[in-house]
Structure 1
Amino acid sequence: MTRPDTPACPRFSRRQAVKLLAASGLVAAGAGLGCDTAVDGRPKTPVFVAKASDYGADLGGILRRGLAELGVTPGEVAGKRVLLKPNLVEPHAGAGHINTHPLVVRAAAEAFLALGAAGVVVAEGAGHRRDAWLVLEESGLADVLAEDRLAFRDLNTGPVHRVKNQGSWSRLGDLWLPDALGEADLVVSLAKMKTHHWAGATLSMKNLFGVMPGVVYGWPKNALHFAGIEPSILDINATVRPALAIVDGIVGMEGDGPIMGDPVPAGVLVMGRSAVAVDATCCRVMGIDPDRLGYLREAAGRLGPIAAGRLEQRGEDPAAVRRDFALLDYVPAQQGIRLAR
């Protein structure tokens, strides 16, 4: 798996960017193409936040605009193999707050194909159920993939290969990854916005638990839990290094997530090149302080920025779309993480 040269800010002038995006039909009125800098002079990391009131919105248009805002060009995507990794944790028909919504998956596939991707594959290694096809069917995603002729790969089974653990936060040692992951040029974490019983919040970084093959790590990825959820999150992200992160927060989950919680209409899509920066922004949208989540605090400076002063928020201001997700007093991981107003 290779990653393109994807700097935090596009390496072309505003005039060049406007011409390029206009030719692609991607310029939105007032689109921010500049690159802000922090007080120390280093470039800020852009994160795009968009409102989406429901799944009937023009999700493809929103994601295309978001990619443009992030400086993702046809030259980066053309001819590349894209792997979309949604969150398909449980086969609950009609429970749209549990899994990444099928229409968000469709919109993401359309956006990358519009930029010239050679192909898009959707792949997941469900954490609790060994029958990936049952999860796929009951989530509603199977119908969308069939209609759009998109392939699905079960990351829990099939050939795997060993790679060096680039993080070494946990005691996992070398990591075993599916060959399907290595065959992709661009890996996109396509997560759901949810609270989490053990990690506080589960977003694009935690979503990568699903790339770890069940044939090696068990169900529900027990080896990762034994090694520590937060150190494992960090090791997996340091090793896989997704090219982009997109979080479905149109309807999220609050309370006892990632499965037993309640739906909450947050009405947003959040995306960026840095999963760490995206997750920090999502936390602020959820009314959670990213500095109070252990794995995000540990990731800061090594895997990506989380401080508000290091992020360039494009699209909507997270404070303007903030919707405080319910937190449970009796869940230790959710205690004391509320973001102050």
Structure 2
Amino acid sequence: MHRHMAPGISRRHFFAAASATALPLFAAAPAPAAPVSIARCPDYGTALTPTLKTMFDQLGGLGRLVAGKTVGIKINLTGSPRQRLGNTPAELAQYTHPAVVGSVVRLMGQAGARRIRILEGCFACDDPMEEFLIEVGWDPSPLLNAATMVDMENTNTLGKGRKYARFKTPNGGHIFPSIMMNHSYEEVDVLVSLAKLKEHATCGVTLSMKNMFGATPLTIYGDHAGKDDADEATARGGRGTIMHAGARQPAAIAEPERDPRSPREDKYRMPRIVADIAAARPIHLAIIDGISTMTGGEGPWNGGRLRAVNPGILIAGTNAVCTDAVGTAVMGFDPMADRGTPPFEYCDSSLKLAEMHGVGTRDLSRIEIAGLPIKDAVFKFRV
């Protein structure tokens, strides 16, 4: 086996993946760049809200982005509430911390947001998000009361809407020519991805772009999705069958993938799907919670070198690729790396693939850093 070849991928598929990544599939115009703010924040206490406000001011101010608008905030609640990294609470390892969610909601309300919707495809269920948060051990009331007109939606299903929204992927997409999502993602004027600073088993890193993978409805892309229309009774399980493995196509309400002959290997497919989602439904504000997190994977289910850590860092930017590139660098990795180099030892780079879509640049030399310099913020996830 080739020394960079992931277990379970054939030699033919490995070289197909490598050559596909190298080909200039899309327009070669320079991808846009945008400033990224980095700040130290030691914990989730009193310094959190003023630190975030300063960061948003460095990016041009929240009012410019959200005043008079409906804002959707996609948070990260990956995995079951019962899955913990030892005795570490989920919000200190794999979940976006509720204090960060509350601070962002509060600041957006103060900046004039007309309505705020907290969104997530809650793990393997169709329960209301409020119920899921109670199961996690969180009180949803402070989040709902952090500003006026705040609500929540579990986007695994159609939820409170009448139809799903379709978002076309530029240039036909790497995998999917369009992505179906809950109606909320079409109804909001501004989309915020509020992610955790983590590594990922099939994408190398999971930051603001990978966070959006959880926006795909289980009724369409889930393991038990119907074959034809979206089946609202099947919002359970994961997305491994359709998304990771490509063992079948999504429900027929969605467009099938562009090339069913492409590699059926998760480390080829997942980075491309992440890039497709980032291009199809753009993120207007990316925020990465790196105050307390974990190394070695995206959740306690990943084997190996898992540990809870406290980098004490927050990152924010108005371009998802630029923000994730800075997040990757803060973790001690090179955002220009490709398959075969950490953190992309066995997978393609979603940063590169999104850059190919023209979403943004991963070249740090083109990204203006506000606040803390990257060199002073680095917390190496691989020791």
Fold conserved (TM > 0.5)? yes
Q: Does 1:279 align with 2:320?
A: no
Instruction: Give 1:145's aligned residue.
Output: 143
Distance of aligned partners of 1:116 and 1:156 in 2 relative to their CA distance in 1, 3 Å threshold? same
Which residue is 2:239 aligned to? 221
**Which amino acid in structure 1 is aligned with residue 375 of structure 2?**
A
Alpha-carbon distance in 1 for matches of 2:283, 2:171:
14
Whether the 8 Å CA contact 2:125–2:156 is kept in 1: the answer is: no
Task: Give the aligned partner of residue 360 of structure 2.
Answer: 304
Q: Normalized per residue, which structure has more strand?
A: 1
Find the partner of 2:312 among 256, 264, 267: 267
Higher Cα radius of gyration: 2
Measured against aligned partners, the alpha-carbon deviations of 1:165-208 in whole angstroms (never above 9, x if no partner) come to 22534332332111111110100000011111111110000000
Aligned length: 287
For 1:106, the equivalent position in structure 2 comes to: 102
Q: CA deviation at 1:231?
A: 0.8
Partner of 1:72: 61
Measured after TM superposition, the shift of residue 221 of structure 1 is 2.3
* Alignment partner, residue 171 of structure 1: 175
Unaligned runs of 5+ in 1: 1-41, 328-341
SS at match of 1:116: coil
Structure 2 unpaired stretches of 5+ = 1-30, 83-88, 223-236, 247-268, 338-343
Moved more, 82-91 or 274-283: 82-91
Q: Percent identity?
A: 31
Q: 1: distance between equivalents of 2:181 and 2:369?
A: 33
Instruction: Look up the match of 1:117.
Output: 113
Q: Find the aligned partners of 1:290 and 1:216 in 2 and give their Cα distance.
A: 32
- Equivalent positions of 1:248-267 (< 5 A) are 248-260=289-301, 261-267=306-312
SS of 1:205's equivalent in the other structure is helix
Q: Separation in 2 of the partners of 1:167 and 1:193?
A: 29
Moved more, 174-183 or 239-248: 174-183
**Residues 325 and 217 of structure 1: is their aligned pair in 2 closer, same or farther, counting only changes over 3 Å?**
same
Q: Deviations over 1:14-68 (max 9, x none)?
A: xxxxxxxxxxxxxxxxxxxxxxxxxxxx995210001000011422212221111
* Structure with higher RCO (Cα < 8 A, 6+ apart): 2
Change in Cα spacing, 1:258 to 1:179, as seen in structure 2 (3 Å) is same
Secondary structure of 1:300's aligned partner:
helix
**TM-score (norm: length of structure 1):** 0.78
Root-mean-square deviation over aligned CA pairs: 2.3
Q: Deviations over 1:212-239 (max 9, x none)?
A: 1111110422322235101100110001
**SS of residue matched to 1:65:** helix
